[in-house]
Structure 1
Amino acid sequence: MPPLPTPLTLSDTDRARLRARRRGRRRESATAWAFISPSVLVIIGLSAVPVVWSLLLSFRADDLVTPSRWVGLDNYRALSHDPHFSQAVDNTLIYTALYVPLSMLLGLALALALNRRIRFVGLYRTLIFVPFVISETAQGVLFSFILDPQFGAANSVLHALHLSPQGFFTDPGQALYVLVGISLWSSIGFCVVIYLAALQDVPQTLIEAARLDGAGRRHLLRHVVLPTLTPVSVFLLLWQTINALQVFDLVYVTTKGGPIGSTTVVVYFVWQQAFQNFTAGYGAAAAYVLAIALLVIAAASRLMRRRENTRLEGATR
């Protein structure tokens, strides 16, 4: 039977060095926490605490003045029967269904057009991206002047072309679609930049091999370029959907949810309930309905990314 290994013994000097090293690590950790603790406190105070407080508020009847009282799920039950909330949900879904695919398709088309060696291509890329860096509040004020039914430049141009004037923001049948158009103008630059960056990473060897096999532009785009852009498209789908569901600034500046509630979206409905009607608990319940929808979308997008990564890994093996 082989002899058992003897335990490793440390000298007093080695033990002292280990103790000194541990003390040094503890001091470094304490110093690091001392530096980051203000940021941690700010993050907890401005994010975690409001999230928990608003969740508790959604189960209470609170007018922000008198003491609140516990009502359980009454706020959520009331939401399910509220026609104004149903209209806000419908408006948000219509806005999202138009804004998300159009922004991605137009962004991809412009990115493909600008992914060439043409004269002044840098200027064109800059001009397309400029509206994205302008705040939605400034855009809303600008388009409120341009689309004013009486004094706006848009109706002046229509009059010069012998076309009938439009109501734009004052027309219940047009206002929501006008907001979609403004949002497309302002955010399409982001999609263009993301798609342009992804197009730069398309392997040129694949493109050259497809061309040697006789693939034309249409087949090259369909079978080589678009499959390579799938992860970026999934990211943009999630990003644009979340932005669409949270639209508020543009509505607040231009239409205030009108006319006749035709542009009231979910976030604006939450603001109305909390700060106009002073029913904070009811507004918090509506906000958490939206938060749950966003969490479901995030979970679905994560599942889509996993499946796409698995597919790509299988294709590369």
Structure 2
Amino acid sequence: MPITIAPNRRPRREARRDTGTAWTFVSPAVLIIIGLGIAPMLWSLVLSFQANDLVTPSRWVGLENYDALVQDPNFGRAVRNTLVYTVLFVPLSLVLGLALALVLNQRIRLVGLYRTLMFAPFVISLTAQGVLFSFILDPEFGVANSLLHRLGLSPQGFLTDPGQALFVLIGISLWSGTGFCVVVYLAALQEVPPSLVESARLDGAGRWQVLRHVVLPSLTPVTVFLVLWQLIQSLQVFDLVYVTTRGGPLGSTTVIVYFVWEQAFKTFTAGYGAAAAYVLAAALLIIAVAIRLVRRQGATTR
């Protein structure tokens, strides 16, 4: 008589029990992500196709909000200001960060203190930075114009001058944003193989040649990360503009995110603001994909 062996169901039951326990721990985080991330994102996407003032019933308008953005000179100016901010801030922050990291990577006295001072501005929130520099750069009572007066130079408008305001904001951002690049580059410089540097020097390579042919290629992955990070930060700048200039003077510092805030919470055209936000989101996605493709192509060619 053949012997039948009953299937062992204990492993399946234990697997289901483990899965249930795992979901018990993970579900709060999943609910938070869905409630505060995915759901608002989908709602704003639907909102971008509506005429909605957040008070009265909405009306479906299709692509009219996006068509209006193309013809809106205020949105065009916000895009130009954002591009100028990004084009200047990103490369300057990387170049300054790398230069300072190379200096601080040397064996110099009090190097730990210098590294801390470089990173300290990055820890300060952009709101606090805006308040601080608003006092320093005040055209009548600020410290900056007081120093210029002592040096015999004419006072400047700084944040109240349409020709200077955007560049002053870039300078404030560099004061804090460069510190992050310094810390990341310093960590990457510690990982450069000393054997490669010594081999290059033994072959007669000078300091510049070692930097160009050994150090910089080793820093490529970190540089790609910093480019993407600084691009996202610059395209999403809002706090500093809101605290210092409120998009002025004469719209010279209105960036895309501030334009979105104005449309949603100042003029109460939330659907129009949501459309502008998704234009920015599409730009960020395209930039991220392009950088990833360039990096992958560079890796395959090597």
With the length of structure 2 as denominator, give the TM-score of the two structures: 0.98
Shift, 1:205, TM fit: 1.2
- The match for 2:70 is 80
Q: Distance in 2 between matches of 1:178 and 1:275?
A: 26
- Deviation of 1:36 after TM superposition, in Å, equals 1.4
Matches within 5 A, 1:21-100: 21-100=11-90
Deviations for 1:182-224, whole angstroms, at most 9, x for unmatched residues? 0000111100011111111111111111111111111111111
1:308 Cα offset (Å): 3.3
Q: Does 2:2 match 1:12? A: no
- Distance change (3 Å), C-alpha of 1:127 and 1:10: farther
CA contact (8 A) 1:231 1:308 kept: no
Q: Distance in 2 between matches of 1:155 and 1:200?
A: 42
For residue 309 of structure 1, report the CA deviation from its aligned partner: 3.0
Distance across 2 between alignment mates of 1:234 and 1:96: 16
Gaps of 5+ in 2: none
Could you tell me how far 1:10 is from its partner in structure 2? 8.8
Asked if structure 2 preserves the Cα contact closer than 8 Å seen for 1:131 and 1:186, the reply is yes
Unaligned runs of 5+ residues in structure 1 are 1-8
Q: Distance in 2 between matches of 1:10 and 1:140?
A: 81
CA RMSD in angstroms comes to 1.2
Q: Secondary structure at the match of 1:12?
A: coil
Tell me how far 1:306 sits from its aligned partner: 1.5
Render the CA deviation track for 1:115-167: whole Å, top value 9, x for unaligned.
Answer: 11111000000000000000000000000000000000000000000000000
How many residues are matched?
301
Give, as a single letter, the amino acid of the residue that structure 2 aligns with 1:239. Answer: W
Q: What SS does the corresponding residue of 2:147 show, helix, strand or coil? A: helix
Give me the whole-angstrom Cα distance separating, in 1, the residues matched to 2:178 and 2:17.
Answer: 50
Q: 1:285 to 1:10 in 2, by over 3 A?
A: farther
CA distance in 1, matches of 2:166, 2:203: 48
Q: Does 1:233 align with 2:233?
A: no
For residue 250 of structure 2, what is the aligned residue in structure 1?
260
The code of the aligned residue for 1:283 comes to: G
- Once superposed, which parts of structure 1, at least 4 consecutive aligned residues long, lie more than 2 Å away? 9-13, 307-311
Higher Cα Rg: structure 1 or 2?
1
SS at match of 1:150: coil
Q: 2:115 aligns with which of 100, 105, 125?
A: 125
1:25-77 CA deviation, whole Å, 9 max, x = no partner?
Answer: 10111111122112111110111100100000000000111100000000000
1:189 maps to what in 2?
A: 179
CA contact (8 A) 1:58 1:281 kept: yes
Equivalent position of 1:154 in the other structure: 144
Alpha carbons 1:155, 1:166 under 8 Å: kept: yes
- The equivalent residue for 2:213 is 223
8 Å Cα contact 1:256/1:264 also seen in 2: yes
Comparing 245-254 with 26-35, which one deviates more in the overlay?
26-35
Q: Shift of residue 12 of structure 1? A: 2.7
Q: Distance in 2 between matches of 1:213 and 1:39?
A: 55
Tell me the amino acid that sits aligned with residue 187 of structure 1: G
